[in-house]
């Protein structure tokens, strides 16, 4: 819901019309009330849609949003880029003999992949509970510095046990970042804005995924130089020189993060006092069933999140969604089964991620513009199912690569919508939002612990078990979003009956 300045409020109180200009946000398509996102109602002269989201924003509000974008988005993008590049390089290293050099047997490589997420899961809920009470800029930047130092030291790994320790610690120190950023963005952006910002943030992950393969292919050419295997030069820049460069660059990003990251709207130093109040007020008005006052404790927030059925529903949806993404840690291996050598396979992992970036940003923008979630997610999952079927049904190289393009490209856009949907539905208090976002992300990443075991090498080249399971989980996501749509629509109907003048409702 758009915020109004004190002058605007005074004008409304006096019964006068608000002066122009207002910049109109794109109008959703016309349709039936509550669900098809028509033009909706008039809110004291400011148009709103059927869920209570403002269709107009004042020049002052647009200036605040632009300033938030300018400071926040570049730094969180860089942080996520290095965050993901660090953890994903081991995946590429497998193609250059990492498993052999570390003498990994059986499923030990899969365990090295999974153990990162064990560390990643341990501290997320406690971390976000703390984050709701401290300065996010210092907290998140500090953990960026810590995971950078772990990255610098991982090149010392020489066997299974040392790699397990390094991967666990990397996951542990990376744990506060993603749920922390998603919580932070939820306190700064409205329902119609957040998915687009999340998609831009998420392209940091996709760009890292796109360039890590070709980068690894080039580094593998260093195999044997300075006494290092190529993967040791690559695994998170895992050699004497390149690994240190990677860690140093990641550490360098942490320094400006201390100054560029925002805090809560009312405590962000680079906003003017008027902008802080406006940034705060617009989120208060946009959030369904928002309860202000600042008297909620972190334990109250935990209780509120745990007792709300929506929290558990979004936790399940998040888990199902990330389960469909289990291929991410095995995409280079999957592409190599198409018959390409190591360098070609790594290079061919990039185009699907480029498609994913384009689809992700466009889909998030369109979902926010129309204030709609269910149909956007459903369409993506159906396309992904087709892609998984194409990969499993044939050994034809062109068909299988087209299938990879489909499921990588379509599923990338779902995560942003799910996260934004979770944040806007569970933001009744900042403390509840923080806990709920961490719970959802924890449940989501439980999938990263078990999905690597769906992709054993013995199932190569078609990986029928993994692709079939992924298609089934895509169907489960569709079922879950339609269940949520039904439940939230019922909740909205109850709110209308309880208060016929109510205007702010849950989006679906």
Domain segments of the chain as ranges: 61-498
Which residues are registered as beta bridge partners of 24?
A: 56
Nearest to 337 by CA among 230, 455, 206: 455
Q: How far apart are CA 37 and CA 21, in angstroms?
A: 24
Indicate the class that CATH gives domain 61-498.
mainly alpha
pLDDT at 93 (0 to 100): 58
Q: pLDDT at position 35, please?
A: 38
Q: What are phi and psi of 26, to 5 degrees?
A: -50, 135
425, 487 contact by CB (below 8 A): no
Q: Please count the residues of the chain.
A: 508
Q: Half-sphere exposure (CA, 13 Å, Cβ side) for 379? A: 13
**pTM given for the model:** 0.75
Q: What is the DSSP letter of 505?
A: -
- CA pair distance 256, 427, nearest whole angstrom: 29
Q: What does the pLDDT read at residue 330?
A: 81
* pLDDT number for residue 449: 77
Q: How far is CA 402 from CA 218, 335, 389, 407, 409, in A?
A: 25, 11, 11, 9, 10
Q: In whole angstroms, what is the distance from residue 260 CA to residue 269 CA? A: 9
In angstroms, the CA 103 to CA 89 distance is 18
Comparing C-alpha atoms, which of 427, 374, 364 is closest to residue 192?
364
Instruction: Report how far apart the first and last C-alpha atoms of the chain are (Å, whole number).
Output: 16
DSSP for residue 47: E
Encode the chain (508 residues) as per-residue pLDDT tens digits. Answer: 444 444 343 434 434 444 333 333 343 433 333 433 333 444 445 666 666 566 667 888 899 999 999 999 999 999 999 888 777 656 655 655 667 767 777 778 878 877 887 888 888 888 988 888 889 999 999 999 998 888 778 777 778 888 888 889 888 899 899 989 989 998 899 888 888 898 899 888 878 877 766 665 555 555 555 444 444 544 433 344 456 677 788 889 999 999 999 998 889 999 999 999 999 988 888 877 677 555 678 888 889 999 999 999 999 999 999 999 988 878 877 888 888 877 787 778 888 888 988 999 999 889 888 889 999 999 999 999 999 999 888 888 889 999 999 999 999 889 889 998 998 888 888 888 889 999 999 999 888 778 878 887 788 888 888 899 999 999 999 999 999 999 999 988 888 888 887 777 778 8
């Amino acid at each position: 819901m758009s915020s109004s300045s004190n002058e605007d409020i005074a004008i409304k109180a006096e019964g006068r019309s608000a002066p122009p200009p207002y910049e109109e946000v794109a109008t959703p398509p016309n349709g039936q009330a509550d669900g098809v996102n028509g033009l909706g109602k008039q809110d004291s002269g400011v148009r709103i849609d059927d869920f209570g989201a403002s269709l107009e924003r004042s020049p002052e509000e647009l200036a605040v949003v632009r300033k938030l974008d300018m400071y926040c988005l570049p730094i969180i993008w860089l942080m996520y880029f290095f965050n993901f590049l660090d953890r994903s390089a081991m995946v590429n290293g497998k193609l250059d003999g990492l498993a052999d050099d570390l003498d990994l047997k059986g499923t030990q490589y899969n365990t090295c992949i999974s153990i990162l997420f064990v560390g990643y899961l341990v501290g997320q809920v406690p971390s976000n509970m703390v984050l709701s009470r401290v300065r996010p800029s210092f907290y998140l930047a500090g953990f960026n510095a810590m995971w950078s130092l772990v990255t610098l030291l991982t090149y010392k790994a020489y066997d299974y046990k040392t790699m397990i320790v390094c991967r666990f610690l990397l996951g542990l120190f990376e744990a506060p970042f993603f749920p922390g950023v998603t919580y932070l963005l939820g306190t700064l952006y409205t329902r119609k804005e957040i998915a687009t910002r999340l998609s831009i943030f998420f392209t940091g992950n996709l760009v890292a995924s796109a360039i890590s393969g070709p980068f690894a292919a080039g580094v593998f050419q260093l195999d044997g130089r300075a006494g290092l295997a190529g993967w040791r030069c690559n695994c998170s820049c895992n050699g004497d020189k390149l690994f240190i460069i990677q860690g140093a660059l990641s550490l360098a990003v942490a320094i400006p993060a201390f100054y560029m990251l925002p805090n809560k709207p009312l405590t962000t130093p680079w906003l003017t006092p008027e902008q802080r109040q406006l940034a705060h007020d617009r989120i208060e008005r946009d959030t369904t069933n928002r309860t202000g006052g600042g008297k909620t404790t972190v334990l109250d927030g935990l209780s509120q999140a745990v007792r709300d059925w929506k929290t558990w529903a979004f936790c399940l949806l998040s888990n199902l969604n990330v389960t469909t993404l289990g291929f991410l840690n095995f995409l280079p291996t999957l592409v190599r089964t198409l018959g390409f050598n190591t360098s070609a396979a790594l290079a061919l992992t990039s185009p699907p991620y480029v498609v994913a970036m384009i689809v992700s940003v466009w889909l998030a923008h369109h979902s926010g513009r129309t204030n709609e979630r269910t149909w956007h997610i459903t369409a993506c999952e159906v396309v992904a199912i087709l892609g998984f079927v194409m990969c499993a049904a044939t050994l034809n190289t062109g068909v299988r690569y087209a299938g990879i393009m489909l499921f990588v490209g379509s599923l990338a856009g779902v995560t942003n919508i799910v996260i934004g949907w979770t944040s806007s539905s569970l933001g009744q208090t900042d403390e509840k939002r923080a806990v709920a976002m961490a719970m959802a992300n924890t449940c989501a990443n439980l999938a990263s612990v078990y999905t690597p075991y769906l992709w054993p090498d013995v199932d190569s080249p078609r990986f029928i078990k993994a692709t079939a399971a992924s298609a089934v989980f895509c169907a489960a996501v569709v079922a879950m979003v339609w269940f949520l749509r039904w439940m939230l629509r019922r909740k909205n109907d109850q709110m209308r009956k309880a208060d016929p003048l109510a205007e702010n409702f849950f989006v679906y």
